[in-house]
């Protein structure tokens, strides 16, 4: 019998082979097992809740797409999305622990922090404002200066500051009329002009039977004053406790938005699924318009305007200064204090 066979026989009789065999087989099983590309197993995902500003609509397409396509799970998050609205104050949900993250306008977040809410900014989704003023041409509204002395509907609360800044910048002194979330007062000629979002109310006016050539449109944003809107926020302690979760939330959300931009038909179908589930009174044509109009404020039409997902330091400073000048806040935190560390390397 060859020497090697004799050695193996002695090892078997001594029990050493039986002790080694399970380890060898286990290693072989691990090497041969198929690898998953879907991200961490479900039992190791981090449970996280995100509350939005409003009911399901294309304004939030990227988040719903990321949830539906498993993008949040791929980044290690077991995400639940809650609808927002006037009956659900997002900051209250954060403070009570009912949500860990919330979408919020930059102006609103600055007001929150000024009254002592310890927020942390982790991602900037909409970097250029979609706010506008819509006026009736047949009432003599052709230029922004024509708004002086006219009845102009302006939203209250978090939406008001950019309009007041626009009026001051153009030397306009309108007769401001508080505007609710309806466009009915404008449609019934109760005001000569009203507040609108390009991706929302402006199209609703068109769907109500008004042709675009009957309207004068004045957008509030400019290259000098972009007025960033929707960002993702959490409490400071939430971010400090696990900054990796904040990073995953930001990355997964922006990946969802990129997918929505590259696959708009599929993204619209996903949004409409959530719209129907929530019984939101809207239609596919309006949601399609909203998605088309909101994407250019997330992904810049030309290079150098902003970096998607990040808040521009200059835009932050201009917005904060505007709010201080209007007496809406006493002071604004330094950019380094306001936003997460990952977002600091921006101009």
Task: Give one DSSP letter per residue of 134-182, joined into a string.
Answer: EEEGGGT--SGGGGTTSEEEEE-GGGHHHHHHHHHHTT---EEEEE-S-
Reported as a single tens digit per residue, the pLDDT across 49-66 is: 999 999 999 999 999 999
Q: For 69, what's the count of Cα atoms within 13 Å in the CB-facing half-sphere?
A: 22
The candidate with the shortest Cα–Cα distance to 50, out of 173, 234, 277, 213, is 234
Q: How large a percentage of the chain has pLDDT more than 90?
A: 74
Site of tokens 């990129």: 258
Select the more confidently predicted residue: 151 or 19.
Answer: 151
Residue 8 predicted with pLDDT over 90: no
**Quick one: pLDDT band at residue 346, thresholds 50, 70, 90?**
low
Q: Which whole number is the average pLDDT over 234-244?
A: 97
At 19 the pLDDT is 43
pLDDT at 219: 94
User: Is residue 33 over pLDDT 80?
Assistant: no
Residue 164 scores a pLDDT above 60: yes
Q: Could you read off the pLDDT of 187-231 as tens digits, one per residue?
A: 999 999 999 999 999 999 999 999 999 999 999 988 677 899 999
Contact 260, 267 (CB under 8 A): yes
Average pLDDT over residues 274-290: 97
Domains, in order of start, for the chain: 46-127+227-343 (3.40.190.10), 131-219 (3.40.190.10)
Give pLDDT, residue 85. 87
On the question of pLDDT at 158 being above 90, the answer is no
Q: Region 253-280: what's the mean pLDDT?
A: 98
How many other C-beta atoms can be found within 10 angstroms of the C-beta atom of residue 134? Answer: 23
Return all residues near 318 (Cβ < 8 A) that are at least 6 apart: 224, 225, 226
Do residues 59 and 110 make contact, with C-beta atoms less than 8 angstroms apart? Answer: no
Q: Does pLDDT of 25 surpass 80?
A: no
Residue 36, pLDDT score: 35
Provide the residue count of the chain. Answer: 347
Q: Which pLDDT does position 26 carry in this prediction?
A: 37
pLDDT at 45: 94
pLDDT at site 343: 72
Question: What token pair was written down for 16?
Answer: 């050493």
Residues 101-150 pLDDT 10s: 999 999 999 999 999 999 999 999 999 999 999 999 999 999 999 999 99
Position 41 scores a pLDDT of 66
């Amino acid at each position: 019998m060859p020497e090697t066979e004799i050695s193996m026989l002695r090892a078997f009789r001594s029990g050493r082979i039986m002790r080694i065999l399970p380890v060898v087989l286990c290693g072989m099983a691990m090497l041969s097992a198929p690898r998953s590309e879907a991200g961490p197993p479900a039992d190791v995902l981090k449970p996280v809740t995100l509350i939005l500003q409003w009911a399901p609509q294309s304004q939030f397409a990227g988040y719903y797409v990321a949830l539906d396509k498993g993008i949040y799970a791929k980044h290690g998050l077991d995400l639940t999305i809650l609808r927002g609205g006037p009956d659900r104050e997002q900051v209250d949900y954060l403070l009570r622990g009912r949500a860990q993250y919330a979408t919020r306008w930059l102006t609103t977040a600055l007001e929150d922090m000024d009254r002592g809410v310890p927020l942390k900014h982790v991602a900037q989704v909409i970097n250029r404002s979609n706010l506008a003023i819509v006026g009736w041409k047949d009432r003599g509204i052709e230029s922004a200066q024509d708004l002086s002395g006219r009845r102009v509907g302006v939203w209250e609360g978090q939406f008001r500051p950019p309009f007041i800044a626009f009026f001051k910048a153009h030397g306009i002194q309108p007769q401001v009329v508080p505007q609710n979330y309806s466009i009915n007062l404008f449609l019934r000629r109760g005001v000569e002009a009203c507040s609108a979002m390009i991706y929302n109310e402006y199209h609703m006016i068109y769907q109500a039977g008004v042709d675009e050539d009957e309207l004068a449109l004045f957008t509030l944003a400019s290259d000098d004053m972009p007025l960033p809107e929707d960002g993702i926020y959490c409490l400071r302690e939430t971010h400090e406790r696990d900054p990796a979760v904040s990073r995953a939330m930001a990355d997964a959300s922006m990946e969802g938005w990129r997918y929505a931009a590259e696959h708009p038909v599929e993204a619209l179908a996903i949004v409409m699924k959530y719209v129907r589930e929530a019984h939101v009174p809207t239609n596919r044509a309006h949601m399609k318009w909203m998605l088309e109009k909101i994407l250019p404020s997330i992904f810049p039409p030309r290079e150098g305007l902003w970096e998607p997902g990040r808040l521009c330091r200059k835009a932050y400073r201009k917005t904060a200064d505007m709010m201080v000048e209007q007496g809406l806040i006493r002071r604004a935190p330094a950019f380094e204090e306001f936003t997460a560390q990952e977002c600091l390397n921006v101009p």
